[in-house]
Amino acid sequence: MTANPLIAAYKKPALYVALPSKGKWYDPKPKLSVDGELAVYAMSARDELITKTPDALFNGEATVALIQSCCPDIENPRQVPVNDLLIILLAIRQASYGNELSVDIKCTHCEAINQMAVDGNVLLSRVTENTYDNLIKLENGFALELTPYTIEDRTRLQIQQVKQQAIVQQLVQAEEQGEEKMQEQFGKTFVEIAELTVELVARCIRSVHLPEKGSEPITEYQDIFDWLKIITKKDYDEIRNRVEQLSENNLDTNFESKCLECGKDYKTNVELDIAGFFAG
């Protein structure tokens, strides 16, 4: 990790966390403890500054820098599968600020907003392995080896989505002013986003095996990307759905609580907003 004896003596892991991926998909694999858990260190003063930047965690570079600093056993944070991302950020938050996580939730009976203290340990202890099979076989005999999305993929998608939102907004304004040129721009952006979606799925395909027995599997990215553009929607959806399932974090966020307003017990799903995580 580091050759500096001062740093080595100072930096100790604050906690260990089990990952939904169990370290699969990483390249290179992260160093895990004998129990298969990842060491997580508290944020430094510099890291805290990163998290205080508005929307910092929606910015991929900030996320990468944070993981680099707090999870040094992950060599290449850009390639972290997204199913581990929320857990890793939750663990970093906990390593730095303690167990208690305050969230606003709505009572299912009277809709009053309650502030609830969620125990981060409970959340992290509920992490279960993502067990979706990464091999799928299409009806026509093509077999694929898949991976989840990475942090890098997620960042690129978010940048595109922001771009799309901006264009939609401009389109609405342009329409109010009776302009036609925006239509064209919107169409172009829409095609770009469709292409990117296909590209991201293509990056999650490690290999395609042809139906013919004994033929060499296809691993060339460009071949896979071009193939993905011509396959049927049904085949494409099947592949994409599995990539999304492989990208799920499997975190059970259901909690029971008593409403402070109406006094009734209710069960709710706690939405973990990554940007709000580090606000406190």
**Residue numbers at the binding site for Zn ion (CB under 5 A):** 107, 109-110, 112, 259, 261-262
At position 48, the amino acid (one-letter code) is E
Spacing of C-alpha 264 from chain mean position: 34
Residue number, 194 or 262, with CB nearest to Zn ion = 262
Closer CB to Zn ion, residue 112 or residue 210?
112
Residue 188 or 264: the one with the smaller Cβ distance to Zn ion is: 264
- CB 100, min distance to Zn ion, A: 22
Whole-angstrom distance, CA of residue 150 vs CA of residue 84: 9
Angle 181-203/233-246 helices, nearest 10 degrees?
A: 60
What phi and psi values does residue 32 have, to the nearest 5 degrees?
-115, 160
**15-18 and 37-40 as β-strands: parallel, antiparallel, unpaired?**
antiparallel
Q: What Cα–Cα distance (Å) separates residue 194 from each residue in 8, 87, 273?
A: 47, 29, 27
- Minimum distance, C-beta of residue 118 to Zn ion, in the bound complex (Å): 18
221 contacts: CB under 8 Å, gap ≥ 6: 202, 203
Q: What is the nearest approach in angstroms of Zn ion to the Cβ of residue 135?
A: 46
Angstrom distance (rounded) from CA 188 to CA 112: 44
24: its two tokens: 């699969």
Q: Which is nearer to Zn ion, 16 or 266 (CB)?
A: 266
To the nearest whole angstrom, how small is the minimum distance from the Cβ of residue 160 to Zn ion? Answer: 39
CB–CB of 264/107 below 8 Å?
A: yes
Least spacing, CB of residue 43 vs Zn ion, in Å: 36
Nearer to Zn ion, 201 or 270 (CB): 270
Closest CA to 236 of 244, 248, 228: 228
Cα separation, 44 vs 22, in Å, equals 26
Q: Whose Cβ is closer to Zn ion: residue 109's or residue 188's?
A: 109
Of 175 and 261, the one with the shorter C-beta distance to Zn ion is 261
CB of 112 to Zn ion, least distance (A): 5
Smallest separation, CB 254 to Zn ion (Å): 17
Residue 134 has which token pair?
A: 């990464």
